[in-house]
Chains A and B, each alone.
Chain A
Amino acid sequence: MTAPHLPDSGATVAIVGGGQAGAQLASSLRGNGFTGRIVMVGDDTALPYQRPPLSKGYLTGHSGPEAVRLHGPEYYAEKSVQVLTGDPAVRVLPSDRRVLLRSGTELRYDHLVLATGARNRSLPVPGADLPGVVGLRTLAEADVLRERLASAGRLVVVGGGFVGMEVSSSATALGVRVSVIEAHERVMARAVTPVTSAFFAEAHRARGVRLELGEQVARFLGTDAVSGVETASGRRLPADLVLVGIGVEPNTDLAEDAGLDVHDGIVVDALLRTSAPDISAIGDCARFPTPFATAPVRLESVQNAVDQARCVAARLTGTARPYRPVPWFWSRQAGVRLQIAGLTGGHDRTVVRGDPARGEFSVLCFRGDRLLGAESVGQPATHLAVRRALETGDRTVAQELLDGSFTP
């Protein structure tokens, strides 16, 4: 497979979005010897930072803004990467390769990479705009949450997904009383199997988190600030802080406006090219084909952001290769680390190895006799073995895991 790549110098790569994917792209382009101009623009006022700690160590005060930042200002200066913070792109004109920024600045590019990420889904119920109802996606939002947690007695978390459960865990560690309202009958229902859901539900409950499963929010209570949450079944939970973590929507407005193919994400091919020549898309905003799923997917993970950035950087500097790393993901909550390898969504059979009661187990997910992936708690060796098996396509490990003969 071939694709045109950029001349060594004189070309401009514009990166729209200053998250993990954008920052990695800039760094990989330079790492691959690209000497042209690199400009990264985004609406965040902070230099690119890591998001995973924002719901974990950053909230509990273990790490500060410096620790979550990906690189200091001197790095970008040294690498000649222009970072325009707080100045998002408002329009892309693919026909004459221009990006317009909010400030009025116009940017000409030879190649454009959309790394626009995603935004939090909002909850359209009465009281959603009351002070004390917060979201968590940016560093600024994490600062607000951190400050409010310091004085909050009761936190209600709306949404029992990864962010919601990680924040519950951090807040509990800070001595805050936490209730979680989740519409599904189990936590992290869209991402993990019932065995893993049940294990984490128990771990959170043991730490005092109250789980209100199969419940929805009818409205937020309060006049000047939020004072509670009323559920659809009429129950009232007092709160002086509410976190809404009910998932995200990809930022595709720019792409759509520019006439690119968009379908719950910016649609890209195996080389991560959009429907316009000279425009690629990476990270949370991109929907891409993968050998690990039957239909194109959109993934919200650091691994995906970083690996897609590296894939595009390689293509732009002369090595076009289809994107096919094994997806992997981790979460840390209730003092336990969950590791996921592969995309387990389409499984029709699961096998549990180990013992959830001891906090050491893996749930292996199969479709037919094909291993799709695994969720592991306290079994890092199994996690890695599955990652390797998926990488190489070697069926031996899958077979050993199935018949119980697997030893790490």
Chain B
Amino acid sequence: MPKIIYRFPDDSTRTVQAAPGTSVMEAALANGVEGIVAECGGAAMCATCHVYVESAHLAAAPAMSEDEDVMLDMAYAPRAANSRLSCRLFMSPALDGMEVRLPERQRED
């Protein structure tokens, strides 16, 4: 199964295996990975599952839709070129080993 590496703000990491088709957000929730809030449950409606793709996998990730693009502007942590909503990052063999960094905060409080 493809692996996802979550990097926390304190630089520690946690590796999780996720079946293809599972989103990086779903895998985080299922494994109790702190730092993904996913308030809307994965509908690209809240930007509380914002991550930065730190490895070379960004180009292989699913294309960004307008919804995601707009929501990323609403994310609490600053948006960067490697920002994605983890609910839109569906795992595939091409994303095996992808590392995502979690922002300090996902929302105001």
Give A contacts to B, CB under 8 Å: 32, 50, 52-53, 63, 66-72, 74-75, 78, 302-303, 306, 310, 314, 328, 330, 332, 337, 339, 380-381, 384, 408
Decide if A380 touches B41 in the complex (CB within 8 Å): no
Name B13-42 residues within 8 Å CB distance of A: 22, 26, 29-32, 39-42
Decide if A380 touches B71 in the complex (CB within 8 Å): yes
Give B contacts to A, CB under 8 Å: 22, 26, 29-32, 39-43, 45, 66-67, 70-71, 73-74, 109
In the bound complex, residues from chain B placing their C-beta under 8 Å from that of A314 are 109
Decide if B30 touches A66 in the complex (CB within 8 Å): yes
The 8 closest A-B pairs by CB, nearest first: A380-B70, A50-B41, A75-B32, A380-B67, A67-B26, A381-B70, A66-B30, A330-B45
Decide if A74 touches B74 in the complex (CB within 8 Å): no
In the bound complex, residues from chain B placing their C-beta under 8 Å from that of A52 are 40-41, 43
In the bound complex, residues from chain A placing their C-beta under 8 Å from that of B73 are 384
In the bound complex, residues from chain A placing their C-beta under 8 Å from that of B41 are 50, 52-53, 68, 302
A50 to B66, CA, bound (A): 25
In this complex, which of B43, B67, B73 has the most chain A Cβ atoms within 10 angstroms of its Cβ?
Answer: B43
User: Which of B40, B66, B74 sits near A302, CB closer than 8 Å?
Assistant: B40
Decide if A72 touches B32 in the complex (CB within 8 Å): yes
Instruction: Looking at the assembled complex, report how far the CB atom of B14 sits from the nearest CB atom of chain A, in whole angstroms.
Output: 13
A8 to B71, CA, bound (A): 36
A50 to B87, CA, bound (A): 15
Among residues of A, the one whose C-beta sits closest to the C-beta of B74 is A384
Pairs across A and B, CB under 8 Å, 24 listed:
A52-B41, A52-B43, A63-B26, A67-B22, A67-B30, A69-B29, A70-B29, A71-B29, A72-B30, A72-B31, A75-B32, A78-B32, A302-B40, A303-B39, A306-B39, A310-B109, A314-B109, A330-B43, A330-B45, A337-B43, A337-B67, A380-B66, A380-B67, A384-B74
Among residues of B, the one whose C-beta sits closest to the C-beta of A77 is B32
A70 to B25, CA, bound (A): 12
In the bound complex, residues from chain A placing their C-beta under 8 Å from that of B70 are 380-381, 384, 408
Other 20 A-B pairs with CB < 8 A, given A50-B41, A303-B39:
A53-B41, A53-B42, A66-B30, A67-B26, A67-B29, A69-B30, A70-B29, A71-B29, A72-B31, A310-B109, A314-B109, A328-B45, A337-B43, A339-B45, A380-B66, A381-B70, A384-B71, A384-B73, A384-B74, A408-B70
A134 to B9, CA, bound (A): 46
A78 to B31, CA, bound (A): 13
In the bound complex, residues from chain A placing their C-beta under 8 Å from that of B32 are 71-72, 74-75, 78
In the bound complex, residues from chain B placing their C-beta under 8 Å from that of A69 are 29-30
